[in-house]
Structure 1
Amino acid sequence: MSIVVRDVREHELDSVLALNNAAGPAILPLDAARLRYFHERAEYFRIAERDGQMAGFMVGFGSASDHDSSNFRWFRERHPRFFYIDRIVVASRRRGGGVGRAFYADAQSYAELRYPQIACEVFLEGGADPALLFHGSFGFHEVGQHVMPETGLRAAMLMKPLCSYEWVRETYGEALPRVPWILQPRRVAAPMPELSTGTHP
């Protein structure tokens, strides 16, 4: 069956927490309070379903947010405007099945209307090559490294330019068409652009 990416629902947070904390050392652990912080503040918090089961989730913040991650702050000190992927988690039984690519395609379709770049990090301890290769194949490149003071973990800081952003801004400015695929996801921590009543060409 196909992969469905949609906004998380509040009653699914316990399942998201379990999925995160079973992901292994490449993903920082969460507690319920931190997950609630994501649910209340993240601009983008979506899950993927495959065969009716949760297959993963992704959390993202716009650069204007007050997100307290040291990795996020590292990017904000160096880049004025970007969409930051805080974490992506794919269930172990679903890895290699296209869920990660579905998430990145969905996140890019959201971000490229609003931000000139996507940012994320990959932890370098313990077998980072598959994650670095995955991101490199998606157009990300390393712009620096950062050691998280709260964990001591070193991360490769990655960014990808979104080529469509300039065209969108020149064509529509702040008045994006009011069509469903632009309105989703509706988790708005940072202000959404004012929307017109036009239709997408």
Structure 2
Amino acid sequence: MSIVVRDVHEHELDSVLALNNAAGPAILPLDAARVRRFFDTAEYFRVALRDDTLAGFMIGVGSRAEHESSNFNWFRERHADFFYIDRIVVASRRRGGGVGRALYADAQSYAELRYPQMACEVFLEGGHDPALLFHGSFGFREIGQHVMPVVNVRAAMLMKPLCSYAWVRDTYGGELPDAPWVRTRAHLASPPRMTGTGR
């Protein structure tokens, strides 16, 4: 049973919304308008399929995005250049089966061509130890904590350096090759470019 990771399709947005809102307290709820906005603007919005069934999804944005999130803004106040994972959701019946790792590996493959580090957060209320362990085993380290306004939830703010970024930047100088696995989501009007200086 292989896991397939690919860009989300428009007809899957209702399923993504249902999966998000069934995830429990570790994930903030969404409404249809917000999912649609992610579809229209997020540079990374991918789903994981197992046996042709939606098993999870991940949404990410770069540090220059117009993104309404107090956690994203916390990172942006402290770091100039990063790729931010807004959310990752894995269907409850698929947890522990490699779907989360497949999504994070895919996101890292995307991000390390464009950004020097990845950022995300883990809520620190309830059973957070498995999530912290998962992220720690993937190379993320806590750089601070943030209490989210309105929902009053404390989050561990995590970052991971992407060691391949400097080589890609120095080698390609901001112009990545036109290869299928390198391309960004097709419908975005202005695809993200590598950050930092070129050669």
What is the TM-score of this pair, normalised by structure 1?
0.93
The count of aligned residue pairs is 194
**Aligned residue number for residue 115 of structure 2:** 115
Cα distance in 1 for partners of 2:49, 2:43 equals 20
Deviation at 1:190?
5.8
- Shift of the alpha carbon at 1:187? 5.7
Kept in 2, the 8 Å contact 1:45–1:187? The answer is: no
- Residues 44-82 of structure 1: CA deviation (Å, up to 9, x unaligned): 001000001000000000001010101000000000000
Q: Distance in 2 between matches of 1:137 and 1:189?
A: 35
Residue 177 of structure 2 aligns to which amino acid in structure 1? Answer: P
- The residue number in structure 2 matching 1:47 is 47
SS in 2 for 1:180: coil
Equivalent positions of 1:8-19 (< 5 A) are: 8-19=8-19
The alignment partner of 1:127 has SS state of coil
* Structural RMSD (CA): 1.3
- For residue 155 of structure 1, report the CA deviation from its aligned partner: 0.2
Report deviation, 1:193. 3.1
Contact 1:83 1:117 survives alignment (8 Å): yes
User: What are the ranges of 5 or more consecutive residues in structure 2 without an aligned counterpart?
Assistant: 195-199
Deviations 1:123-173 (A, max 9, x none): 000010000000000000001000011210000000000000001111111
Q: In the TM superposition, what whole-angstrom CA distance separates every residue of 1:70-124 from its partner, at most 9, and x where no partner exists?
A: 1000000000000000000000000000000000000000000000000000000
Structure 1: runs of 5 or more not aligned:
195-201
Instruction: State how far apart, in whole Å, the 2-side matches of 1:186 and 1:82 are.
Output: 22
Distance 1:102 1:169 in 2: 25
Identity, in percent, stands at 76
Residue in 1 that maps onto 2:166: 166
Corresponding residue for residue 197 of structure 1? none
Q: Which amino acid aligns with 1:10?
A: E
C-alpha contact (below 8 Å) 1:42/1:187 kept by paired residues: no
SS at 2:54's partner residue?
Answer: strand
Map of 1:198 onto structure 2: none
Distance 2:187 2:3 in 1: 21
CA distance in 1 between partners of 2:110 and 2:128 (Å): 27
Q: Find out whether 1:145 has 2:159 as its counterpart.
A: no
Q: What is the match of residue 197 of structure 2?
A: none
More displaced 10-residue stretch of structure 1: 37-46 or 117-126: 37-46
Alignment of 1:184-195 (within 5 A): 184-186=184-186, 188=188, 191-193=191-193
Shift, 1:174, TM fit: 0.9
